[in-house]
């Protein structure tokens, strides 16, 4: 980091929507989250190994006929999630003007599921399916462009793709954009769809669990993949129950797929996020951890959390509920942070029992109702990419 200048103050989160293995509405997600029910099921895709996935069970809406070129699972998920936040976006567009609202999404898969099918057809028949278009389905930006046209958002729009940290980094980009007075509001989020590439890839690395993932447990065997995503509307000012207080991004500079063993980059991200939020470690009430359920990631993150926050902050991984949603994980967990602040309730870290004795932080094994003012949310990804966002309840 260079010479740090102040960015913007808190940003109001005036709307959010999420779709994941727990459900497609706040009520359904809340019921499972606080009921301690996992959304992980036996993987529906044909695989030569056993694994569990957090698939979205409900049917996602088809795209309007004028956007048929963009039709794919990724775009349907985008539309399904957007419907839950569209009224808030409409209000923001009227309040600020279309050109003063931006769209920053995250993904790690893009529409590759569509390309997987198209290539299988090509191998059998020697040509791609008639509807397949690289630019409008496979491309990382395709679902972002579709949502931009659907929503009427007229400001800048782009996709961040830094693997599993992607949709926490969107908060940092949005803060920069609002602080520089480029826009007044940003719709941020992350969307990923289930695909063969990630399932086979993580299996090849030996870190895909054959059971439901058990983050921070002494019995953890790896991660479970999930799909879906979340969108959150950030505004310079507005009535809201929760605000984004700060967000920081760092790099491990250590290894392409393994975290720094001492959590160096993660420690820097958490410390800088606290600094940007104007908070001390003692003022954080709860941490939504990255907590993938792999041996090394959980151990490294636990060291980093203990180094920054000590052992008294309740830490939860929500991946035991949804699976690891990769490029959509950060935004989904930001929504869980918002829910915790709105409901004044910390869910239990599902699957953590029995907690690994080597994990020296307070893994939250029982749901708690308590006064909660702030939540920090971690996301770490391949390439040594780290991000931490801090959210606060508005009194």
Partner 1 sequence: MKPAYLLGSAMWSTGIASQAKWRADDFDAAMQTPTCSSVKTRHLRYTSVVTRMALNVFEQVTTDKDVNLGTLGVVFASSFGEIQIAVKLLDSIDTDGAPSPASFMNSVHNTAPGHLSIACRNHGISTAIAAGSQTVSSALLEAMLLLQESCSTVALVLADEEFPEVFNDSFPSLAVCLLLQAKASSQSLCTLDGIRIAKEVVPVSLPHFAGNPIAPAASLLQAIASKKPGPHRLDLEQDEGWCVSLSFPE
What six digits make up the tokens of 155? 């400001």
Report the residue number, 90 or 135, with the smaller CB distance to partner 1: 135
CB of 335: closest distance to partner 1 in angstroms?
22
Q: Residue from 331, 385, 388, 390 that binds partner 1 (CB under 8 A)?
A: 385
* Stretch of 24-32, 66-74, 155-163, 347-355 contacting partner 1, by CB under 8 A: 155-163
CB of 255: closest distance to partner 1 in angstroms?
7
Q: Residue from 29, 144, 194, 225 that binds partner 1 (CB under 8 A)?
A: 144
* Stretch of 34-42, 167-175, 228-236, 338-346 contacting partner 1, by CB under 8 A: 167-175
The torsion angles phi and psi of 125, rounded to 5 degrees, stand at: -110, -10
Q: Residue from 30, 91, 251, 344 that binds partner 1 (CB under 8 A)?
A: 251
CA distance 194 to 53: 8
Report the residue number, 15 or 226, with the smaller CB distance to partner 1: 226
Q: Which of residues 365-384 bind partner 1 (CB under 8 A)?
A: 381-384
Q: Which of residues 172-191 bind partner 1 (CB under 8 A)?
A: 172-173, 176-177, 179-182
Q: Residue from 142, 188, 306, 338 that binds partner 1 (CB under 8 A)?
A: 142
3-state secondary structure the chain: CCCCCCCCCCEEEEEEEEEECCECCHHHHHHHHHHCCCCCEECCCCCCCCCEEECCCCCCCCCCHHHHHHCCHHHHHHHHHHCCCHHHHHHHHHHHCHHHEEEEEECCCCCHHHHHHHHHHHHHHCCCCCCCCHHHHHCCCHHHHHHHHHHCCCCCEEEECCHHHHHHHHHHHHHHHHHCCCCCEEEEEEEECCCHHHHHHHHHCCCECCCCCCCCECCCCCECEECEEEEEEEECCCCCCEEEEEEEEEECCCCCCCCCCCCHHHHHHHHHHHHHHCCCHHHCCEEECCCCCCHHHHHHHHHHHHHHHCCCCCEECCHHHHCECHHHHHHHHHHHHHHHHHHCEECCCCCCCCECCCCCCCECCCCEECCCCEEEEEEEEHHHEEEEEEEEECC
Closest residue by Cα to residue 338 from 14, 4, 62, 57: 14
Q: Residue from 184, 235, 252, 333 that binds partner 1 (CB under 8 A)?
A: 252
Give the binding-site size for partner 1 (rule: CB under 8 A).
67
Cα dihedral: 350, 354, 360, 366 (round 10): 40
Q: Which of residues 33-92 bind partner 1 (CB under 8 A)?
A: 48
* Stretch of 27-35, 90-98, 150-158, 370-378 contacting partner 1, by CB under 8 A: 150-158
Q: Residue from 73, 76, 169, 212 that binds partner 1 (CB under 8 A)?
A: 169
Q: Binding string to partner 1 for residues 205 to 244, with x set by CB under 8 A, is what?
A: xx--------------------------------------
Would you count residue 145 as binding partner 1 (CB under 8 A)?
A: yes
* Stretch of 88-96, 165-173, 234-242, 338-346 contacting partner 1, by CB under 8 A: 165-173
Report the residue number, 96 or 158, with the smaller CB distance to partner 1: 158
How do strand 185-192 and strand 52-54 relate by DSSP bridges? unpaired
Report the residue number, 94 or 123, with the smaller CB distance to partner 1: 123
Q: Binding string to partner 1 for residues 262 to 301, with x set by CB under 8 A, is what?
A: --xx--x---------------------------------
Report the residue number, 2 or 239, with the smaller CB distance to partner 1: 2
CB of 140: closest distance to partner 1 in angstroms?
4
Closest residue by Cα to residue 274 from 264, 265, 284, 266: 284
Catalytic center residues: 164, 290, 324
Report the residue number, 163 or 305, with the smaller CB distance to partner 1: 163
Handedness of CA 10, 16, 22, 27 (dihedral sign): positive
Binding site for partner 1 (CB under 8 A): 1-5, 7, 48, 99, 108, 112, 115-116, 119-120, 122-123, 134-135, 138-142, 144-145, 156-163, 169, 172-173, 176-177, 179-182, 196-197, 200-202, 204-206, 249-257, 264-265, 268, 381-385
């Amino acid at each position: 980091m260079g010479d740090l200048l102040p960015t913007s103050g808190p940003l109001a989160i005036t709307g959010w929507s999420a779709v994941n293995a727990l459900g497609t509405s706040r009520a359904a997600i809340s019921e499972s989250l606080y009921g301690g029910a996992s959304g992980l099921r036996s993987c529906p895709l044909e695989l030569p190994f056993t694994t569990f996935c957090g698939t979205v069970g409900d049917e996602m809406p088809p795209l309007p006929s004028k956007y048929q070129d963009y039709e794919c699972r990724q775009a349907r998920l985008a539309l399904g999630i957007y419907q839950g936040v569209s009224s808030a976006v409409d209000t923001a567009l009227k309040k600020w003007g279309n050109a003063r609202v931006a769209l920053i999404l995250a993904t790690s898969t893009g529409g590759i599921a569509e390309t997987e099918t198209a290539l299988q057809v090509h191998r059998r028949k020697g040509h791609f399916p008639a509807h397949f278009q690289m630019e409008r389905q496979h491309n990382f930006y395709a679902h972002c462009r579709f949502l931009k046209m659907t929503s009427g958002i007229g400001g800048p729009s782009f996709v961040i793709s830094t693997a599993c940290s992607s949709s926490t980094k969107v908060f940092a980009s949005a803060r920069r954009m609002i602080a520089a007075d480029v826009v007044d509001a940003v719709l941020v989020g992350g969307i990923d769809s289930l695909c063969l590439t990630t399932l086979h890839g993580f299996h090849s690395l030996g870190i895909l669990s054959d059971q439901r993932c058990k983050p921070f447990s002494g019995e953890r065997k790896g991660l479970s993949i999930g799909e879906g995503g979340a969108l959150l509307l950030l505004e310079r000012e507005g009535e809201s129950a929760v605000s984004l207080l700060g967000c920081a991004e760092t790099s491990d500079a250590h290894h392409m797929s393994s975290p720094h063993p001492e959590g160096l980059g993660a420690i820097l991200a958490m410390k800088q996020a606290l600094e940007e939020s104007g908070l001390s470690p003692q003022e954080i009430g709860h941490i939504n951890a990255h907590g993938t359920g792999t041996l090394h990631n959980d151990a490294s993150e636990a060291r980093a959390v203990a180094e920054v926050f000590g052992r008294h902050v309740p830490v939860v991984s929500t991946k035991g509920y949804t699976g690891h949603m990769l490029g959509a994980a950060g935004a989904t967990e930001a929504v869980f942070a918002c829910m915790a602040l709105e409901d004044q309730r910390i869910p239990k870290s599902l699957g953590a029992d029995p907690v690994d004795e080597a994990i020296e932080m307070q893994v939250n094994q029982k749901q708690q109702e308590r006064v909660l003012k702030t939540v920090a949310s971690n996301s770490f990804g391949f390439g040594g990419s780290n991000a931490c966002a801090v959210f606060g309840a508005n009194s």
